[in-house]
Structure 1
């Protein structure tokens, strides 16, 4: 399994340097091994995710990735790129709109929507799509790190 941001250098964007509209994306192709590893990590072995025969007989026609797996790609962005190391996840809302299947290439994007000086809170619009089709949307709130004084 390859981590979604493997080979991408972490970067911290301090609260004082953030701007409304600033965004970061990652692109990741979901594999069977991603889904299997996520099932093993979480204990969620729902057959819709891991049993090919069950997936083929479902309304989706195939296995699908865990919705929370797709959402977890947001954590990679928030923890490693925007704001990055030193940020603290406060809350997340999610709406799952369509399935993500093994082999799908997912583009996940976080966009700064609001900045609140008190507590250095940053609200970000979050989206995921496959081939231009929205598969997930939501909103995250994080505490961004303060710029160190010289």
Structure 2
């Protein structure tokens, strides 16, 4: 049930190659616990300090899918915004992310395909030391409305 009207994100015509978005996210315990509870993921590498200390990582890691979730959330909220849909993604995670780290995400519009109603966005995530922890490309379908529909319909 929708209780209030939501503004849609930007249409393909409003997006330009070279646009950038920067977001910063801190890896907090509450977020990790919510993810682990929702997914029922009990991987000791994510939550057990004693186990993680015996691995090559030395400390518990943030689940990779949480980082990817932050990327998809940024698409839904900001670029292009509400009403968008990710069509494909290729993401690499070259370095681990640890609890309490702050990650800076940079999103750059690389290509606007108006005919296909698709936008290709490059993503780079770096930790406080400047190490790359996430990089990749996503193809997104920005919001598009059928004739006769507009923001007021929602």
Q: Is the 8 A contact 2:8 2:83 kept in 1?
A: no
Q: Which runs of 4+ in 1 moved over 4 A?
A: none
Is 1:45 the counterpart of 2:36? The answer is: no
Aligned to 1:76: 73
Aligned to 2:91: 94
Aligned to 2:134: 136
Task: Indicate the SS of the match to 2:116.
Answer: helix
Q: Is the 8 A contact 1:111 1:126 kept in 2?
A: yes
Aligned to 2:28: 31
Q: Is the 8 A contact 2:11 2:80 kept in 1?
A: yes
- TM-score, normalisation: structure 1: 0.86
Bigger Rg, which one: 2
How far off its partner does 1:58 sit? 1.2
Structural RMSD (CA): 1.8
Q: Is the 8 A contact 1:11 1:80 kept in 2?
A: no
Distance 1:51 1:130 in 2: 22
Aligned to 1:3: none
Q: Is the 8 A contact 1:99 1:135 kept in 2?
A: yes
How far off its partner does 1:11 sit? 7.0
In structure 1, list runs of 5 or more residues that go unmatched: 1-9
Q: How many residues align?
A: 140
